[in-house]
Structure formats: structure tokens, C-alpha cells
Structure 1
Amino acid sequence: MTDAPALQAATRALDARTYDCILLAGFGGPEGQDDVIPYLRNVTAGRGVPDERLEEVAHHYRHFGGISPINEQNRDLKAALEEEIAKRGLDLPVYWGNRFWAPYFSDALKELHADGHRSVLVLVTTAFSSYSGCRAYREDLATALADTGLTDELRLDKVRQYFDHPGFVQPNIDAVRAGLRELAQSGKGAQPHVMFATHSIPSVAADGSGPREARPDGTPVPTGGGDEWYAGGGWYVEQQRAVSALIMDGVADEFPDVPWTLVFQSRSGDPRVPWLEPDINDAIGALDESVSGLVVSPVGFVSDHMEVAWDLDNEAQETCDERGLTMVRVPTVGVDPQFVSGLIDLVEERHVGPDGQPRERAALTDLGPWQDVCPADCCLTRNPKPTIASAAAGGGIGA
């Protein structure tokens, strides 16, 4: 973990202001068999993936009637956010839009604009820094602004990545503790192991995640950056490791010295392209025979959507069954009241409410609190697009 002075993310904070509404920004998912292939076409647009290949992936959705749970989970989260907002006396209506399925970002922007809103605070349903978890959302929001002709009409600011916010960390601590207790009560807790599962991404994308002012290991950044900037998973992996360690520290009073591993799941694309490893199924197969039970925490996700339901509850469970290992898959943060409250805490960091004072920026690791404004080279890709964020040195709209 880097020394705090070398990483400037915590200094890139925007002053609080008054917002008109909140946009809950999700990924989206199909809601019936006829939606599956069109949805997958949206996700893979521009990559030249034929429908025959998409149909190979579609069987995950077909298994569940063509319905991804993610949209219903976002409806539940929207309702929970509205309840928490009302409890705090904030006048902030919540709108909801997705990147890849209805309601799309453009639909939500047109709706909130028609309702008279002009200053929007965006809550994204991802906690960690990466191109797919942050910059891609900002790019797609900028595209939606352009497509709707609202670029000069709406201000969109995004809340910071919240991987180490207490509202995200504590529900994960509670879930892992409950999972270890379940193993113990089943008689399989003598030699437990915990695996923290997160989405695998291409290694080059992971290595380029986050700002390039410092490497996660604290060593100097080469002059000019470049592809040799950091080859170890970048800030995406460093954030996941830091949170996993926090969670294990949080259960150590009851379950000390339990070994744990950060593992990856749901890789896709060209098999010749390196992705983050180890895959969870390979990691399960490599566990020592002395391990009596496994707790799997989908720490990289905020809801039990398709990749949790299929890759963990089916594939990882089958791998455990094959070697006779008891597995307890604990829930994601979902609509846990602590998580919902934490999201509104993040809103109140940025929104000047009735008392006129922003909330203190909370963080549980020395990596945070993470930045409100992303540098221009943060999570950079080879073909960058316009985003809703300005460079840290500039003015304008937020991260």
C-alpha cells in the first residue's frame, strides 16, 4: 500500500453545492427471453461478436427465464434510497438509468430535465476504480447528454468510489462473520477459508486503473508513464485487497487468523488476452485438503445479480461439490440499511442540505477518501472518449 502523501486522491475533492436530484446509474439487464440477445448486443457493441457467440453466453440468462435480477434489485435500491432521503429531510428525487438496458441513461436524463432539474448528483452501482466501474459510466453519461441535446442544460457530478466507506465495508464484515458462524454451526468450521470474489478484467485494464501519479506499491512512476506504469493490478486490485483485509480484521475478534484469498470470476472475451487471476474455480481446486469449509464473499459486487447467481451459486458451488467442500456464499450489500445509509452519506458529502454543512468524508483505509474529480489519465484507455469529468487541474463538472 502506498504512502498517503504519494497518492493525491483524497485532495481532489469538490466543494459541496446544492443539487436538484439524484441519478442512480446502473448496468442494466434483460427482463425476458426476448430481451437476452438484444441486451448482449448492447453490451458487446463495437466488438464484432456474432449472435452465435452471444447465444453461448445467453444460456446463463435462459436458465433464469431470461431475467437478470439486476433491474429489480435497482428498483429496490431506488426505493430504499428514497426512504432514507425522506428520513433525513432532503429534497432530492431519485431517478434511475442504465448503461445497457431500459431505462437507459438518455431516458432518465430526458425525464429529469422535463421535471425541471438541472443539477444532478450521480450514484453509480460500483464501488471500485476501473475503466468499466467508473470511467465507462462517465463516458456513457457524456454520450447520453450529447444524444439528448442536454449537454449545456444539465450538470452531472458523480459521487466518489466508495470501496472503503463504512457503509460498504461494515455490511461485508457482517456477512462474512455470519458465513463463518454458519460453517462453525454446521461442524465445518475447524479450518475455514474465505475467498473474496470480484470481477476479472483484462490485466492491461487493471494495471491502468486509477490515477497514475503513484503506483499502489509505493515505487516511483516511470517518467512518461506508459504501459510499464504498473504491472500488478493497479488501484483496482489494490482497493480490493485493502477492503478484503479490512473485512478480515473486522471478524478477527471472533475468527482470528482465518486465511483468505482474493479471487476473480466472470472473465470473458478472447482467451489469448491475459485477465486477472486466479479464477475462483481454479483457486478452489488448489485449496489444501485440510480446509474444512469455504466462505465466498462477492465483495466486488453491490448486488446479487446474474454473475453472482450463476458464476458463484452454480459454477463455484459445483466445483466445491466435486471436491466435497462445504461452501457458504454470503450476500452482497444489496439494500442493507447500512449500505443505503452510506450512499446517502456520500450524497451529503457533496450536497448542501438544510443545515448548510456537508458531511465529513469518511474512509477506512489510507487510500481514501477517494477522489471526487478524476485526473485525465485516470483509468485511461487507448481510445478515450469524452466523459462527464474534468481533469483534476481544471474546473467544471465532477468525477
Structure 2
Amino acid sequence: MTAKIGVLVMSYGTPESLEGVEAYYTHIRRGNPPTADQLKELKDRYEAIVGGVFPLRENTDRQVEALQEALDNERGGGEVEFVCYQGLKHASPFIEDGVEAMARDGITEAVGVVLAPHYSVMSVGGYLKRAKEKAEACGIRFIGVESYHLHPVLVEALGKRVADKLDAFEETGAGREDVRVLFSAHSLPERILSMGDPYRDQLLATSQAVADVAGVKNWQFTWQSAGRTSEPWLGPDILDTLRELADDQQVKYVLSAPIGFVSDHLEVLYDLDIEAQALAGELDLRLMRIDSLNSDPAYMAVLSDVVRQAACELKVKQQ
């Protein structure tokens, strides 16, 4: 009988419709409902993205399906069978729901992987903690993938996307060396720095590796999509960076490379494609963005590889 290992694929989550935005936002706010103004602002952002389409949910569904296909295609005769399940942080199916589904299916060993390459105790660490606690309660042996930010296939895939967009700039008459590449990721509260959290350093390492692959020297890192709380978040924000590039450095061409995100969703399609693009227009900057990984076979190969490595570690620990 072929052994089965569950694969819990985790992501932030998003509502399935505009009607679900309030419940989703309330969950993010730890049970505190948003004000009418806060709710309207979030709904307006979703509506601005192709009339309210919810791409993160669709993209996550496709990524889970594509990872399952990749794992199936790489399976040899008599090898362990991987079965993918989805678990979301702030929407159904929640992380705990995914683990419970595994238990119902008789899964006794599982690997958890988050659709985010970089580790922080406040992001990926939180996903894995919830999954591990639920797995232990269900009698499932669990191991989590903490990060894969320097996986060579990931770096190569991102580097190709940067190079392709630099080609596009050249086609419009811009010099390749005149384009400032802005690598970015979701900001987190500044207090992670005093905690020795690896998030910022991992992002800078990925940025350098991708720049090396793409042959880019004219780059810098910035942050985006900070939460609106009373405590300070990591900066500068990409909007402030764009203003500085235009006003103080007379930069004319900018390539946005949001390496902290693997899908087209709100922080990409609104924060970059609408908000940052509008500001770039006001500043007379030409702004392009690299294509997201989404379900690219290269990204699926990365996830498949790190899942298999983790499964091997799980087997070793069992011995």
C-alpha cells in the first residue's frame, strides 16, 4: 500500500465575494468589526480590481492544483503519494480546516508550505504554528517549510522576469542602465528588527541574487502595503520612494519587482498597478511591474522540491 503524505498549502486568504469582505476584515481585526469607512475603503479597492474580481482566491486555488500536478508528475513507481490541501489564514478553508480534512482522510504525516518565500515569525511563522498545533491535536506528524527565498529555480524565474521587463523598457527607447529596479515586499511592524527576525535580511538576499541573475546594478529595496496601526512599520514605503526618485534623483524609469508576493492579488493589482501607477503618472515616471509567478511551472517546481525535502526530513526524524 502506497504511503500518503498530506501537503498543507497555506496563504493569507481573501473573501470570495464583496458580501464576504466584512467578515473577512473582522477576522483580520481579531473579531473587531471595521468601521463603515474602513469597510468602504476595502470594498472600493476590490471593486477597482477588474470590477471586484477576487484574484487571490482564484490564484491560490490554481496554485494548489498545479502543485498537486507537479507532485504527481514527479512521482516514481512505488514512491510516496502527496495529497494537497488548502489552508487560509483569514478565510475558509482556514488552516485548521485543512488539517482536519487531512485527518478525515486518514493522513498521519504532513508537510506545510506557505505561498511566501521569506520567513518572519509574524507571517510564515504564524501559519506554521497554527498548522502544527492543529496537526498535533489530530495525531498528525507535521513539518513545516520555513523559507525558500534563495532556491535557485525561484531566483532564476524572478531574474528572467526582471530581464524581460528591462527588454521592454529598451524597446521603448529607455537605456537599460537608466531603469531603477525597485524590489519590494509587504511591510511588517518595525519591532521585528529588535527580535532578530530574518525577514528583511532574506528579502535583501533574494534581491541581490535576482539582480545578479538579471545583470542589474541599478536597484534598491523598498516596502509596501503597510498596515494602519499605531506602531511604526518598516519603510520607506514605495510611494515615498517613487517621490524621492522623481524629485531628488531625477529618475525617469522604474521597474517594480514585488518579490515578496507570488500571486496577483490586492497588494499587487491595487497597491502597485493602480495606486503606485497613478502616482508615477503624476511624477512623470514610467513605471512597469514584473509578471507575478502565479502558477508558473518553475514556481511549482520550487514548491515541489521543498515539499519533498521536508518530507525526507520528516522520515529521518521518525527513524
Q: Taking structure 2 as the reference length, what is the TM-score of the superposition?
A: 0.88
Gaps of 5+ in 1: 1-17, 211-234, 359-394
8 Å CA contact 1:95–1:108 kept in 2: the answer is yes
Q: Which residue of 1 aligns with 2:26?
A: 41
Distance in 1 (alpha carbons) for counterparts of 2:131 and 2:36? 27
Give the alignment partner of residue 63 of structure 1, picking from 45, 48, 54: 48
Q: Which residue of 2 aligns with 1:315?
A: 275
Q: Does 1:155 align with 2:115?
A: no
**Deviation string, structure 1 residues 6-61 (Cα, Å, up to 9, x no partner):** xxxxxxxxxxxx76221111111011110111111111115675454343333212
Give the alignment partner of residue 80 of structure 1, picking from 28, 44, 66: 66
**Deviation string, structure 1 residues 121-179 (Cα, Å, up to 9, x no partner):** 1111111121332221123325645xxxx615222211131111113211110111011
Q: What is the deviation of 1:208? A: 1.9
- 1:119-130 equivalences in 2 (<5 Å): 119-130=109-120
Q: Which residue of 2 aligns with 1:199?
A: 186
- Name the % identity: 27
Distance in 2 (alpha carbons) for counterparts of 1:344 and 1:118? 20
SS in 2 for 1:59: helix
Q: Which residue of 2 aligns with 1:267?
A: 226
Give the structure with the higher percent strand: 2
Q: What is the deviation of 1:330? A: 0.5
Q: Which residue of 2 aligns with 1:245?
A: 208
Q: Which residue of 1 aligns with 2:126?
A: 136
- 1:1-399 equivalences in 2 (<5 Å): 20-45=5-30, 49-64=34-49, 65-89=51-75, 91-142=81-132, 144-145=134-135, 151-189=137-175, 191-210=178-197, 235-252=198-215, 257=217, 259-270=218-229, 272-287=230-245, 288=248, 290-352=250-312
Distance in 1 (alpha carbons) for counterparts of 2:23 and 2:81? 37
Give the structure with the higher percent helix: 2
8 Å CA contact 2:185–2:222 kept in 1: the answer is yes
8 Å CA contact 2:6–2:82 kept in 1: the answer is yes
SS in 2 for 1:332: coil
Distance in 2 (alpha carbons) for counterparts of 1:144 and 1:345? 25
If asked which structure has higher relative contact order (CA below 8 Å, sep 6+), I would say 1
Distance in 1 (alpha carbons) for counterparts of 2:52 and 2:134? 27
When the two structures are aligned, how many residues end up with a matched partner? 307
SS in 2 for 1:184: helix
8 Å CA contact 1:127–1:133 kept in 2: the answer is no
**Deviation string, structure 1 residues 266-317 (Cα, Å, up to 9, x no partner):** 11222x4211111101111111554231110011111111111110001110
Distance in 1 (alpha carbons) for counterparts of 2:196 and 2:29? 21
The Cα RMSD (Å) is: 2.4
Q: 1:79 to 1:332 in 2, by over 3 A?
A: same
Gaps of 5+ in 2: none
8 Å CA contact 1:298–1:331 kept in 2: the answer is no
Q: 1:184 to 1:39 in 2, by over 3 A?
A: same
Distance in 1 (alpha carbons) for counterparts of 2:309 and 2:132? 23
Q: Which amino acid aligns with 1:112?
A: M
Q: What is the deviation of 1:339? A: 1.4
Q: Which amino acid aligns with 2:187?
A: S
